[in-house]
Structure 1
Amino acid sequence: MSDHDFFVPDGFEVPVELVGDGFRLEPLGEQHNERDLAAWSGSIAHVRATPGFGDGAWPPPEAVSAERNLADLARHARDFAARTGFTYSVLDGDDVVGCVYVYPGRKDPDRVHVSSWVRADRAALDRPLYEAVSRWLAEVWPFEPQRIVYAAR
């Protein structure tokens, strides 16, 4: 198989952290469950209004159980370990304030679909997060710029 058959090349070391002004990213995992659930479920309307989330697929209109959220986090962690998609918690200290997703496009797997959200009470962080992640993708990740789809802020 060629590198083109994989989301990221075999030799690429996937970043496990990005530190920005007022936030840091770390891989989303089961340890974030309670804080992640509280973050998005307390900001459903805000997340749905965030560029890149207008299709209504996520988040659901109502909060889900902690068990269902945990299953979603476990799936994201498996994707990360398998190098098929990468989800990061956006943290301020230990407080979950959002998420960043880097996945192959659903309709066009040659595209890189990137999305991010922050809690409603951290809305001012949305643009700086977008700008930092955009730079990070350009400087660190192995994706050609024309392949990246990330809704502008």
Structure 2
Amino acid sequence: MKKSFVPDKFIVPVIYKTEDFTIRKLTVLDLEKDYNAVMEAKDHIHELYPKEYTNGWPSDTLTLEQDEEDLKWHEKEFDERVAFAYTVFDFQNENCLGCIYIDPSNFYDAKITMWTRNKVTDSLLYLTVKKWIKNDWPFKNVHYPVFE
């Protein structure tokens, strides 16, 4: 098992709400809404991130079962405190808009990637996440590939 990259005493947020978003721990219970959002955002994700960030994920042939395995993996990482994946819903917590991934980095305290279903939401989510990380997380030196 990898070592946590947040202090042991740090309480990892499970949910964060703003007037625009409900950001919460990504779990396998989000499977159907996550899968639909991923497949709808697939081309946009590929526009945002070069292949070295995504390894070509999501592919045109991504199945619901493969997405379920991904969600199980993200949930396990979160529980072990080695990486943190969040789903992003609208404020009413009805529609999956995208995801946020907070990962360890060799050069920064954390590397944060994210995607949404559309470019307009990307900017708002980036500003929201940047504020959240600054105020509620123990990181001082954070990298946001694509957004910086």
Give the TM-score, by structure 2 length. 0.87
1:84-132, Cα deviation, whole Å (9 max, x unpaired):
0000000012211100000112xx1754110010013xx3111111011
Which residue in 1 is equivalent to 2:15? 17
2:120 matches 1:124: yes
2:138 aligned partner: 142
Is 1:20–1:129's contact at 8 Å kept on the other side of the alignment? no
Q: What CA RMSD, in Å, does the superposition of the two structures yield over aligned residues? A: 1.7
Find the partner of 1:115 among 104, 113, 116: 113
Structure 2 residue matching 1:12: 3-state secondary structure? coil
**2:102 maps to which residue?**
102
Distance of 2:12 and 2:61 partners within structure 1: 31
- Structure 2: segments with no counterpart, 5+ residues: none
Aligned residues: 141
One-letter amino acid of the counterpart of residue 143, structure 2: V
TM-score by length of 1: 0.84
User: Counterparts of 1:79 and 1:65 in 2: how far apart (Å)?
Assistant: 21
* 3-state DSSP of counterpart to 1:9: coil
Runs of 4+ in 1 over 6 A off after TM superposition: none
- Give the unaligned 5+ runs of structure 1: none
Query: In 2, Cα distance between the equivalents of 1:129 and 1:110?
Result: 21
Deviation at 1:17, TM superposition (A): 1.3
**Cα gap change, 1:46 to 1:110, in 2 (>3 Å):** closer
Letter in 2 for 1:102: I
